[in-house]
Amino acid sequence: WDNERLVTALRNACSLARSQREVKRLKEIKRELTQEEPMFWGTSSAMMRIREIVEKVAATDANILITGENGTGKEMLAREIHNRSARHRELMVSVDMGAIPETLFESELFGHVKGAFTDARADRAGKFEAANGGTLFLDEIGNLPPHLQSKLLTALQSGRIVRVGSNTPVKVDIRLISATNRDLYGMVAEGRFREDLLYRINTIHIDLPPLRQRREDILPLAEAFLRRYAAKYGKAIERFDEQARSAMEAYPWAGNIRELQHTVEKAVILGDGRAITPEMLLLRPAQPQPAAAGITTLDEMERSMIAQAMSRCNGNMTEVARQLGITRQTLYNKIKRYGL
């Protein structure tokens, strides 16, 4: 070996050692500081079916796509799957794709080498390397720019990533769980999401229902949150009174479990005595309906159009989709959404 090759080899070895130390440090911090909240399944038939699916797939390395509205517990479900898997002793690294500027996506996922761009003052491992041996959770994957979708697909297919500014592939072993509140099939039809990537991340699909569609879970969830926050804040509050229970059951919970959790936490912090009353819940009043007759929302108009097309076509979904100018999968998603 000549001196230049020796120096290059030593530099690469030092870079790898730094990356390995960084990943090890992250794992140690996670084990020491993370207080994971247990998954609360509830008693609804919808959640029981999801629990059965999780019990079957957690032990595998199958890629999973979790869909559902904001606040339905997608990340909590992903962590439950990770904790039940053979990878539970390693990290589950979460990435909020909606919070990363587009210019930093590639560096965040795959890492970079020193000098790759202006602020790259040192080599840095990306999320793939941080999750090596464990689980990578990509939240809001529908936000991934098209030019990076192909790079993600390549990484998943090959099991290797290349840091920004480098030509050297790095082998990674991760289990991928993705989540979104978007209609990815609709995005495929519109050319905004790669179909082959969708199939790659969607070996198993789990759709989390909104809280309003499983109202039998509202009170058990609220009581679980009450016990947690009463203990956390040292309060003697033990229950919800009957009026508070009725108010929670009737409330629409547009923010789903996250809104319910925050509502109970605020009530515990501000409340006194043994029981939480409706006044302590600080629930927002229902939005008044428009007074003008004949004015409908866009969702109502779309629902009506789909229903009329289904009636005209006698349930022939291929023809319904053709007349509406959408794919069959998008049609099925909308039928499910509107309860048709």
CATH code, domain carrying 191: 3.40.50.300
Phi then psi for 234, rounded to 5 degrees? 65, 35
Average pLDDT over residues 255-284: 94
Predicted pLDDT of residue 314: 67
Does residue 34 surpass a pLDDT of 60? no
Give Cα separations from 268 to 39, 71, 215, 231, 239 (angstroms). 21, 20, 22, 10, 10
Is 102 a member of any domain?
yes
Q: Considering its fold, how many domains does the chain have in total?
A: 3
Predicted pLDDT of residue 31: 45
Predicted pLDDT of residue 297: 58
Predicted pLDDT of residue 147: 85
Last residue of a domain, one of 176, 207, 238: 207
Residues 162 and 110 in one domain: yes
User: Which amino acid does the sequence have at 225?
Assistant: F
Last residue of a domain, one of 175, 207, 239: 207
Secondary structure class of 282 (helix, strand, coil)? coil
Is 290 a member of any domain?
no
Residues 228 and 330 in one domain: no
Residues 116 and 102 in one domain: yes
Integer Cα distance of 151 and 142 in angstroms: 15
Average pLDDT over residues 234-263: 96
> Structure pTM?
0.73
37-51, 238-252, 291-305 — most confident range: 238-252
Predicted pLDDT of residue 288: 47
Does residue 40 surpass a pLDDT of 80? no
Is 292 a member of any domain?
no
Give Cα separations from 252 to 13, 103, 208 (angstroms). 57, 38, 16
Average pLDDT over residues 270-288: 85
Confidence of residue 22 (pLDDT cuts 50, 70, 90): low
Give 117 or 90, the one with higher predicted confidence: 90
DSSP assignment of 86-138 equals TTTTS-EEEEEGGGS-GGGHHHHHH-B-TTSSTT--S-B--HHHHTTTSEEEE
Is 57 a member of any domain?
yes
Average pLDDT of every residue of the chain: 86
Is 179 a member of any domain?
yes
> Residue 315 belongs to a domain with what CATH number?
1.10.10.60
Residues 202 and 77 in one domain: yes
Tokens of 150: 């192909």
Integer Cα distance of 67 and 78 in angstroms: 11
286 Cβ contact list (under 8 Å, min separation 6): 252
CB neighbours (10 Å) of residue 304? 12
CB 159 within 8 A of CB 172: yes
Last residue of a domain, one of 207, 232, 255: 207
336 Cβ contact list (under 8 Å, min separation 6): none
CB 163 within 8 A of CB 111: yes
Does residue 33 surpass a pLDDT of 60? no
273 Cβ contact list (under 8 Å, min separation 6): 236, 237
Question: Domain residues for 137?
Answer: 7-207
Q: Which has the minimum average pLDDT: 96-100, 266-270, 273-277, 312-316? A: 312-316
Residues 137 and 72 in one domain: yes
Residues 195 and 229 in one domain: no
Give 26 or 127, the one with higher predicted confidence: 127
Residues 328 and 271 in one domain: no
Give Cα separations from 51 to 80, 170, 203, 212 (angstroms). 10, 35, 17, 19
Beta-bridged to residue 207, according to DSSP, are 67
- How do strand 175-180 and strand 135-139 relate by DSSP bridges? parallel
Q: Which has the minimum average pLDDT: 7-21, 243-257, 325-339? A: 7-21
Nearest to 224 by CA among 57, 41, 80, 75: 41
317 Cβ contact list (under 8 Å, min separation 6): 328, 331, 332
CA 223 distance to own-chain centroid: 24
Confidence of residue 298 (pLDDT cuts 50, 70, 90): low
User: Which amino acid does the sequence have at 127?
Assistant: K
Tokens of 203: 């070996």
